Structure 1
Amino acid sequence: MSYTGPDFDPPQPRRSRRGPLTVALAALVPGALLGWAVYAAVGGPADDGGSAHATATGSPSARTPSPGGASPTGTPDDDRGPSASPTATAPSPSASAPAGSGPLKGKVVVIDPGHNPGNARHTGEINRQVDIGTHRKECDTTGTATNDGYAEAEFTLDVAHRMRAILREQGATVKLTQDADRPFGPCVDERARIGNEANADAVVSIHADGSGAGNRGFHVILPGSVRAGAADTRAIVGPSRELGERIAGNFVRVTGSAPSNYVGGGTGLVTREDLGGLNLSTVPKVFIECGNMRDSKDAALLTSGAWRQKAAQGISEGIVSFLRG
């Protein structure tokens, strides 16, 4: 996700070395900073992809930037980047997955993979202005990409597919806002509407940032309190923060990634009032920027299939923790 525009739809565990107490602490973190401190204290992994978790534990525990450049403002937008074939792409089940019999039976999760791979071929359509409550902005953006051309839109779909498989095993009904099954979009207002109409118990928008080299780490974007036009987030601010905190803590624990060193003050949490995907949501929703595609060290993680599995696992475990209370 780019940090150039006002409305982006979005910025190795070694379990044998962590005992039950560590997992419990990670589940209770009020923010990613404490989760990172706990993880580092028990010897978290370095920057390699490492082996991935197989299943969720159920622990309670944009304006379009230049595809090859960093966003001018260093703040997230809605989508970015040229398309490239992902490595180690996860299997892609149907867009709306049936519920199973696990602990999340009866729960509905909407996963919003930021930036359709086809957006770059439909710039006229995605530049169309839509109403996000506080103002009007572009329908969508193309997203960013690594220096080697791995597109954010490919990354987000891959992580979304992995999350869908994990959450289905937990019994949830899972819906994707798009699965590269449409020429472009959906627009940011429609992305919000999909979650609302599904009466989702949780919505997570998946992104990767396009900030400057040296800016590293993940951050979770929370909705601010907005009441303007069609936007009224007051009812979802509290539960969305809880969802975001649980995702941040579990993301740290599972991936070993640190919270962002350039936004969020080291907490891994950022509140924004200018994103249509959040402003128009009536159900708990957050964005996660899993890392910075324009930094070579973060890019090495984002292009690793093993690390993407861990990212999907960490986000999913945060969702499971939130939905189980």
Structure 2
Amino acid sequence: MANGRKSLALALGSVAVASLGLASCGDSDTPVAKPPTAGPSTGPSNGRSNGAGGSEARQQRAGASLAGKTVVLDPGHNGGPLKGGQVFVGNGYKACDTSGTATDAGYSEHAFTWDTAKRLQKVLQRRGAKVVLTRPNDKGSGPCIDERAAIGNRHKADAVISIHADGAAPGGRGFHVIKPKPVKGLNEGIIAPSSKLGDAVLAAYKTGTGMPYSTYLGDNGVTVRDDLGGLNLSKVPKIFIETGNMRNKTDAAKLSDPAFRQRMAVAMADGLTRYLTGK
């Protein structure tokens, strides 16, 4: 009987080890966490949220929910020299492209938006969406702001989000979503759906990141503008998001943290998913 109990214990131990190994595998929206110390029973099999990315069951549902949807991501600015010149934005002219801002430590907005957009792209693709980026890398110049709008239109995107970070006064912090204001003869058809898109991303981003609404601009995290070519010239639902203030010490620390950028990407993906599926 002693030998029998020993063999049984060894067998059970092997099963427990194997179970722990399986729990550590899989593709998640969030960075890999340390394995649980209390054994396999502490895993996310109860279907509850497990960190910013949600449970494995939630990820499986999300993986099928965006099939057939096209999302265009516009990482603001670019890493190469500016093209210069002015382009028509529907109700006037603006610079083709601008350099963006940076943190006091030198982390540039263009590098931030590129990294965050690539993270968001991966999350959305895992959920089944077709994802198009308005620029191919963080080294080239352009495209101009009118062309960025045209990319979303050409792909007949179900949703477009332009990702930015603000360069406001250091005392202000937080994020805000920019919705389009009607420009006669141009974007009237996208005002209502863009507003719904903005509301979904606003709520999900606040919940997923814990970032406050902007303290220096907007009304409860929302601004409405008609001076942005990307919104004026869009024929498909589109918003901008100023994800935080790079000139603010607290916001800059978060935006400079790769793990937090992953949280931001998942939060934006949750908002896009809510808008595109109605769930």
Normalised to the residue count of structure 2, the TM-score between the two structures is 0.78
Aligned to 1:179: 136
Q: Is the 8 A contact 2:191 2:237 kept in 1?
A: yes
Q: Higher Cα Rg: structure 1 or 2?
A: 2
Secondary structure of the corresponding residue to residue 281 of structure 1? coil
Aligned to 2:75: 113
Identity over aligned residues, as a percent? Answer: 47
State the 1:53 CA deviation: 2.5
Q: Does 1:311 align with 2:264?
A: yes
Alignment size in residue pairs: 232
Considering only aligned residues, what root-mean-square deviation do their CA atoms show, in Å? 2.6
Distance in 2, Cα, partners of 1:131 & 1:58: 42
Instruction: Extract unaligned runs of 5+ from structure 1.
Output: 1-22, 24-50, 61-99
Q: Tell me: higher relative CO, structure 1 or 2? Use CA pairs within 8 A at least 6 residues apart.
A: 1
Distance in 2, Cα, partners of 1:58 & 1:243: 21
Distance in 1, Cα, partners of 2:200 & 2:267: 10
Equivalent runs, 1:268-287 vs 2, <5 Å: 268-287=221-240
Q: 2:244 aligns with which of 268, 285, 291?
A: 291
Distance in 1, Cα, partners of 2:213 & 2:167: 16
Secondary structure of the corresponding residue to residue 227 of structure 1? coil
Distance in 1, Cα, partners of 2:158 & 2:228: 20
Normalised to the residue count of structure 1, the TM-score between the two structures is 0.67
State the 1:102 CA deviation: 1.4
**Stretches (4+) displaced over 3 A:** 54-60
Aligned to 2:35: none
Q: 1:145 aligns with which of 89, 102, 113?
A: 102
Aligned to 1:195: 152
**Residue deviations 1:238-285, cap 9 Å, x none?**
0000000000000011100111011113x1110001100000000000
Aligned to 2:163: 206
Q: Is the 8 A contact 2:79 2:138 kept in 1?
A: no
Aligned to 2:85: 128
Q: 1:55 to 1:195 in 2, by over 3 A?
A: farther
Q: 1:102 aligns with which of 60, 64, 71?
A: 64
Give the partner amino acid of 1:110: V
In terms of fraction of residues, the more helix-rich structure is 2
Equivalent runs, 1:1-325 vs 2, <5 Å: 52-53=52-53, 57=58, 102-118=64-80, 121-122=81-82, 125=83, 127-180=84-137, 183-227=140-184, 232-265=186-219, 267-325=220-278
**Residue deviations 1:153-203, cap 9 Å, x none?**
000011101101000011000000013266201000000000000000000
Give the partner amino acid of 1:53: G
State the 1:55 CA deviation: 8.0
